[in-house]
Structure 1
Amino acid sequence: MGDLRANRVAESMKKELGDIISRKIKDPRVGFVTITDVEVTGDLQQAKVFISVLGEEENRQETLVGLAKAKGFIRSEIGQRIRLRKTPELQFEFDDAMERGNRIEHILRELNQSSDHE
């Protein structure tokens, strides 16, 4: 039962976070951010927000700093939009699934090319 509720809260947060970050955050350090996933603990106290950012590594780090600075504002916005007794504490992390997928695809392509040349 708790997992179902945590999943519903996570989905709502994912939608709202995307809107808040794209429309309300004016920090120039925060680039083009995509919320890829949100994981909320069963007690709804913590939320891990996975993000994907376009650009170089330096831009990505700056975006993370900007989001960390805006964490309080983002959390209060979430609290207003989603009715919960206590708004979860936010933690932003990069979602490296795309990078891993690209790396695997690159390795497979190289293996395929080397087997074609044999």
Structure 2
Amino acid sequence: MPREFFRSDRIADAIQRSLARVIQTEVRDPRLGLVNINSVDVTRDLSIAKVYVTVVGAKEESESEVAVKVLNKAAGFLRNVIAKELTMRSAPRLSFFYDRTAVQGQNLANLIDRAVAADKQRSEDEGE
């Protein structure tokens, strides 16, 4: 019977949960804000983990980019904490990236809402 999940997928999930807790409680940088970890991709050899994050409440994309830089500077500390917490022989190297999909999804949803409202208004105008 084939496996449902690869080991790298299970480790990615564990790293995501651990990072969410550790960033919130251990990293104390005022530039960071509230960070949401969207996903973690771990290579099959478990040497590199790409962490995709968004910053909740960031008004501009530059604020999110600053938070990503802060996280990349703290990557060594976070890697050490994760290695201890997950009791791994060697923890993957962490690289943080800003995830634009949430912002793009919100923009698309707004466009769809405006198109639906315009269509409804046009059908009401034609019906009168």
Q: When the two structures are superposed, what TM-score results if normalisation uses the length of structure 1?
A: 0.90
Rounded to whole Å, the distance in 2 between the matches of 1:65 and 1:38 is 17
Runs of 4+ in 1 over 4 A off after TM superposition: none
Which amino acid is 1:109 matched to? Answer: D
Contact 1:35/1:51, CA 8 A, preserved across alignment: yes
What does 1:16-95 correspond to in 2, within 5 Å? 16-54=18-56, 55-56=58-59, 57-95=61-99
Rounded to whole Å, the distance in 2 between the matches of 1:41 and 1:82 is 17
The secondary structure found in structure 2 opposite 1:76 is helix
Which amino acid is 1:70 matched to? Answer: A
Which amino acid is 2:77 matched to? Answer: F
| Counterpart position of 2:105 | 101
* Identical positions, percent: 29
Contact 1:7/1:40, CA 8 A, preserved across alignment: yes
Shift of 1:100: 1.8
Contact 2:20/2:37, CA 8 A, preserved across alignment: yes
Q: Which has the larger radius of gyration?
A: 2
For structure 2, the 5+ residue unaligned runs are: 124-128
Which amino acid is 1:68 matched to? Answer: N
Instruction: State the number of aligned residues.
Output: 117
Which amino acid is 1:36 matched to? Answer: N
Contact 1:49/1:93, CA 8 A, preserved across alignment: yes
1:9 paired with 2:36, answer: no
Query: CA deviation digits over 1:48-73, x for unaligned, max 9?
Result: 11111021223212211211111110
